[in-house]
Chain A
Amino acid sequence: MKNYYNVIIVGGGVIGTAIARELAKYKLSTAILEKESDVGLKASTSNSGVIHAGFSYPPGSLKAELCMRGNELIKDLTEKLGVPFNKTGKLVVAFNRKSLAKLYEYEKISKKNGAEVRLIGGEEVRKMEPNLAPCLAALYSPNSAIINPFQFITALAENALHNGVDILLNTEVKNIDRKGTKFEICTSKNNLICDYVINAAGLYSAEIARKYSGEDNYKIFPCKGEYHVLDKNISYLISHLIYPVPFINDTKSIGGSGIHLTPTTDGNILIGPSDEYIEKRNDYSTTNEIMDLLTKEAKKFVPKISSKDIIKSYSGIRSKIVPPEIGGYTDFVIEKSPDYDSFLNLIGIESPGLTAAPGIAEYVVNMIDKDLNLKHSESFYPEREKPVVFADLPENEQNILIEKNPNYGEIICRCEKVTRQEILDALNNPLGVRTIKSLRNRTRITMGRCQGGYCLERVADIMLEEGLDLSQITLDGEGSNLFSGLLKGVSG
């Protein structure tokens, strides 16, 4: 096993994988260290999947610059990587006069940032979104879009891997020591040497920066956002992203964009996220209070939404660097560390981090270009083959697939119509992850209205057939076993 790399990236979220893929365009060796069992299991996938257009971030900020750049790059990138992308557009809806001033402010900011927006009246909004409650006006942003974040991060990682990046999963950083001009990184698995460290560790980024690079200006204040996922039966209710006008008369606001409705690329509507500073950075629980609030807020936009439509609730945690008592907006921190020129910290990459990821990757590579004397690699292959999504194919193409391979005729997940072959393909993914969540994020098994009630046991069967042991079937890696064993007195 290799133990020396030019660059080691700590954190396999969307930022880490995007930077890794960007670095793969050059002649150097790169590894990602990820403590979880797969890439992108935390904030990178527990968000709305929204591609922001950049009309709300202060002109001149990194957030504004990198969001605009990310928005510009992402469509082409998703095409190359075979990732669902849908330019839905966004409506920021004003229900009363109090909210109007904020829309004018957005309009002004968008001019400076170079974002395209248009103010439209209630009647026009009604035509665009007939199920929306009557409103006064809205800011329409045509360049706002959605992607499938699960597919996006997986694709970034797979493409980086294809181009020579090593992705070391279940590998947690335990210590980083300076050794001459290099770093020695002790992990939960083995020790590695590198020339350059890029810290993209999300919720753990400030801690790593402080412990190993002398950066003590920042602290992460975890801030939870809860979501509801709604049944596909009501996907017809909206076709745009529907946002509220945030923080009117609220000076202590957390600086998020408010509880909104997201029509996902898979056809579910998301409600959320809430904004709640929390004590523990691993508290991914949902709460009765917020779950009720989300439903209430959603009904204000679309009265037809009801709690009966909810199929799942989940939460994600933002890496905020502004403390709760101050609140509001802060910019991304992308800085070389005080102690070392070859230790780069990315701290406080929250929204619009997903949108900005390709922009951040470019920005980071520009920053370290001279330090590493980067040279283009001729062999970089920018594309990843899109996995088959059987349910999305027209009937004639489905039949051709089944004729070639009967595994496509066997639908294992009936809610999302995932076939046996898609599960087999996902089980043999290039990253080598074989967990229920890895299959879920790649194929959508267990994500439908029955939440695995029907398919989980069938998927477990396939995993057993493919050579996994019963004790190796986990939700997301070590300690998350699904089964305790065979029944007493039963062998084989």
Chain B
Amino acid sequence: MNTDRRELVVIGGGPAGMAAAISAKESGVEDILIIDREYKPGGILKQCIHDGFGLHKFKKVLTGPEYAHKYIKRLEEHKIEINTKTLVTNLSQNKIITAYNSSNGMFKVKADAVILAMGSREKTAGAIQLAGTRPSGIYTAGLVQKLINMKNIMVGKEAVILGSGDVGLIMARRMALEGVKVKAVLEIMPHASGLPRNINQCLKDYSIPLKLNHTIVEIEGQKRIKSIIAAKVDDKLRPIPNTKEEIICDTLILSVGLIPENELSRQAGIFLDNKTGGPLVKNNLETNIPGIFAAGNVLHIHDVVDYVSEEASRAGRFAADFLKNKSLSQDNYLSVVSGKGVKYIVPQLVKTNLKQKIYFRPNKPITNPKVVVRIGNEICFSEKFKALHPSIMQKVILPETSKSTKAKFLEVAIE
């Protein structure tokens, strides 16, 4: 079997993959191949028929398919090749990609550069060790979204939603609009994990109760789910015994988080961050393997697609830079570490001298915090914020420093 050689292969044709490929093309990369497992590009945007996309990027309120269409059009204008209905099963350290489809069978591509844009998958009942039986009627929110919005298939009549992630909130509203009785959204944490605007527009506007500090302790039903037993949790997130309450439902929807889809990264030997679940990247979004870049939800879970597109455009430009120089970067780097109150930070390595952006999320909601960035013991950045929330990714732009430092790490803390 002959192995094709390509300059740049983008794995995944969702919002990240499309933006990365377009920006690489615009930065001068000629030979680009996108590989996507769906029948058409756009990724998860295709099933997001609600609006709210593009506010930051286009200053417009778009639906998911409309947002995707803007990029699909540009892919076509740029004549960027895309293999759809094709599943990548392996990525090797030396950038050989193995993929399958029904027209070409199994094929291999050797890429000079790769952009990982595989997105994420949903956490399941198994992943969160949900107690109880496993009858029919338990779904992840994204799956229900696809069934309803793309297949016109409804999954049940009375639903409980576990987890207050954005997809779950959107689906609460979507199901309510279709006449499903959405009995409650249960959230184990003392705060919602979805965006505040979705709490208002998807729950409050439809009188769907949000029960914070609540989880499911039992699932009842043999063939189809009949009810769930909810309970309040204490500050260690353990269920409090005398707070049990049965909620009758035939459907349980899980919106308990997304996991960056890094099976291929693992195969290639890419270092992963156990906090983000994504690759450890330098400020140019490059992984530990020179020429392999990552962007979008595969790198860390984003709250809005506009930032995915922005990040991916940067990855496309950086991949183009790499293809021009192809030499190992001579820069010195600082490790970026999470200090007090910080859940995670991307990128995980920054250059010692450059003016650059870093993104982070706080552990919990906090008002009037101060974000302090230190190199070694020396404060290099400090700014007061009105409020920080785990559901909202925060950005700070570090000032340029010309001072040489012996420190090897940079710490971001919320004080």
> With an 8 A cutoff between CB atoms, is A210 at the interface?
no
Measured in the bound complex, the distance between the Cα atoms of B137 and A480 in whole Å is 8
Asked, given contacts A406-B102, A480-B224, whether A312 binds B126 with beta carbons under 8 Å apart, the answer is yes
Q: In angstroms, how far is the closest chain B Cβ from the Cβ of A262?
A: 17
Within the complex, the shortest CB–CB distance from B17 to chain A, in Å, comes to 16
Q: A66-79 toward B: CB 8 Å interface, digit per residue (1/0)?
A: 00000000000000
Determine the chain B residues whose CB is within 8 A of the CB of A476 once the complex forms: 136, 223
Number of A-B residue pairs having CB atoms within 8 Å of each other in the complex = 139
Q: Is the CB–CB distance between B136 and A482 below 8 Å? A: yes
B148 at the A interface (CB under 8 A)? yes
Interface residue B85 (Cβ < 8 Å from any Cβ of A): yes
A287 touches B127 (CB 8 A): no
What is the minimal beta-carbon distance from A422 to any residue of chain B, in angstroms?
Answer: 13
A411 and B36 CA atoms in complex are apart in Å by 12
A483 in complex: contacting residue of B103, B135, B153, CB < 8 Å:
B153
| B154 CB → nearest A CB, Å | 5
Alpha-carbon distance A453/B147, docked complex (angstroms)? 11
Report A-chain residues with C-beta under 8 Å of the C-beta of B85: 410
Kindly state the separation between the CA atoms of A451 and B125 in the bound complex, as whole angstroms: 9
Bound complex: CA of A486 vs CA of B153, how far in Å? 5
Stretch at the interface among B23-31, B138-146, B191-199, B368-376: B138-146
B103→A285 contact, CB < 8 A: no
Determine the chain A residues whose CB is within 8 A of the CB of B95 once the complex forms: none
Tell me which residues across on chain B come within 8 A of A488, comparing CB atoms: 178-179
Beta-carbon contacts under 8 Å, A450-492 to B = 450-454, 456-457, 460-461, 470, 474-488, 490
Residues of chain A within 8 A (CB-CB) of B178 are: 487-488
> Does B87 lie within 8 Å of A487, measured CB to CB?
no
Q: In this assembly, does B156 line the interface, its C-beta being within 8 Å of a C-beta of chain A? A: yes
Binding stretch for chain A, among B67-75, B214-222, B289-297: B214-222
Q: Tell me if A190 counts as interface (CB < 8 A to partner B).
A: no
- Segment of A151-159, A332-340, A342-350, A395-403 engaged in the interface with chain B: A395-403
* Interface pair A414/B135, CB less than 8 Å apart: no
Q: Shortest CB–CB separation between residue A445 and chain B, in angstroms?
A: 14
Q: Please count how many residues in chain B sit with their CB below 8 Å of the partner chain's CB atoms.
A: 51
What chain A residues lie within 8 Å of B325 (beta carbons)?
none
Q: Are B224 and A481 in contact (CB under 8 A)?
A: yes
Asked if B106 contacts A310 (CB within 8 A), the reply is: no
Pick from A288, A402, A470, A480: contact of B135, CB below 8 A: A480
A484→B37 contact, CB < 8 A: no
- For residue B124, CB closer than 8 A to chain A, the reply is yes
Question: Does any Cβ of B come within 8 Å of A6's Cβ?
Answer: no
Which of chain B's residues have a CB closer than 8 A to the CB of A407?
Answer: 102
Min CB distance, A367 to chain B, in Å?
Answer: 35
Closest to A226 in B: B131
Nearest CB in chain B: distance from A249 CB, A: 30
Query: How far is the CB of A66 from the nearest CB of chain B, in Å?
Result: 32
Interface residues of B in 135-177 (CB under 8 A from A): 135-137, 140, 142-143, 146-148, 151-157
Chain B residues near A307 (CB, 8 Å)?
129
Contact A475 B135 (CB under 8 A): yes
**Given A403-B105, A485-B154, A457:B129 Cβ within 8 A:** no
Does B307 sit at the interface, judged by CB under 8 A? no
Q: Using an 8 Å CB-CB cutoff, how does the interface string of B299-310 with A read, 1 for contact, 0 for none?
A: 000000000000
Among A282, A450, A452, A456, the residue within 8 A (CB) of B222 is A282
B87 near A411 (CB under 8 angstroms)? Answer: yes
**Cβ–Cβ < 8 Å partners of A310 in chain B:** 126-127, 129
Contact across chains for A285 and B223 when beta carbons are under 8 A apart = no
The verdict on A235 contacting chain B, using a C-beta distance below 8 Å, is: no
CB-CB contacts below 8 Å: B91-105 with A: 100-105
Q: Which of B100, B157, B217 is A409 in contact with, Cβ under 8 Å?
A: B100
**A374 in the interface (beta carbon within 8 A):** no
The answer to whether B129 and A486 touch across the interface, beta carbons within 8 angstroms, is no
A residues less than 8 Å from B223 (CB atoms): 475-480
Q: How far is the CB of B261 from chain A (nearest CB, A)?
A: 9
Question: In the complex, how many angstroms separate the beta carbon of A214 from the nearest chain B beta carbon?
Answer: 31
Interface flags, B113-143, vs A, CB<8A=1, else 0: 0000000011011110101111111001011
A291 at the interface (CB under 8 A from B): yes
B121-A453 in contact (CB<8A): yes
Indicate if the CB atoms of A486 and B152 lie closer than 8 Å.
yes
B1 at the interface (CB under 8 A from A): yes
* Cβ B103 vs Cβ A409 within 8 A: yes
- The answer to whether A291 and B129 touch across the interface, beta carbons within 8 angstroms, is yes
A224 to chain B, nearest CB (A): 12
B250 contact set on A, CB distance < 8 A:
484
B101 adjacent to A410 (CB under 8 Å): yes
Assembly CA distance A475 to B37 (angstroms): 26
Question: Residues of B contacting A450 with CB < 8 Å?
Answer: 121-122, 124
Q: Which of A287, A410, A453 contacts B124 (CB 8 A)?
A: A453
Closest beta carbon of chain A to B197's beta carbon, Å:
26
Give min CB distance, B183 to chain A, whole Å.
15
Docked-complex contact B219 and A285, CB < 8 angstroms: yes
Would A402 and B121 count as touching, CB distance under 8 A?
no
Bound complex: CA A208 to CA B231 (Å): 39
Given the complex, which residues of B lie within 8 Å of A483, measured CB to CB? 147, 153-155
> Does chain B have a CB within 8 A of A284?
yes
CB-contacts of A295-318 with B (<8 A)? 307, 310-314
Taking a contact as CB atoms under 8 Å apart, the answer to whether A410 and B102 are in contact is: yes
Question: Is there a chain A Cβ closer than 8 Å to B200's Cβ?
Answer: no
Q: Which residues of B contact A474 (CB under 8 A)?
A: 136
Contact A409 B134 (CB under 8 A): no
- Could you tell me the distance in whole angstroms from the C-beta of A185 to the nearest C-beta in chain B? 24
Interface contact A482-B129, CB-CB below 8 Å: no
**A–B pairs, 10, beta carbons within 8 Å:** A399-B1, A406-B102, A411-B87, A450-B124, A453-B122, A470-B153, A476-B136, A483-B147, A483-B153, A488-B179
List 12 additional contacts besides A410-B101, A476-B223, A483-B153; criterion CB under 8 Å: A288-B217, A288-B239, A307-B129, A398-B105, A409-B103, A456-B143, A457-B143, A461-B151, A475-B135, A479-B223, A486-B152, A488-B179
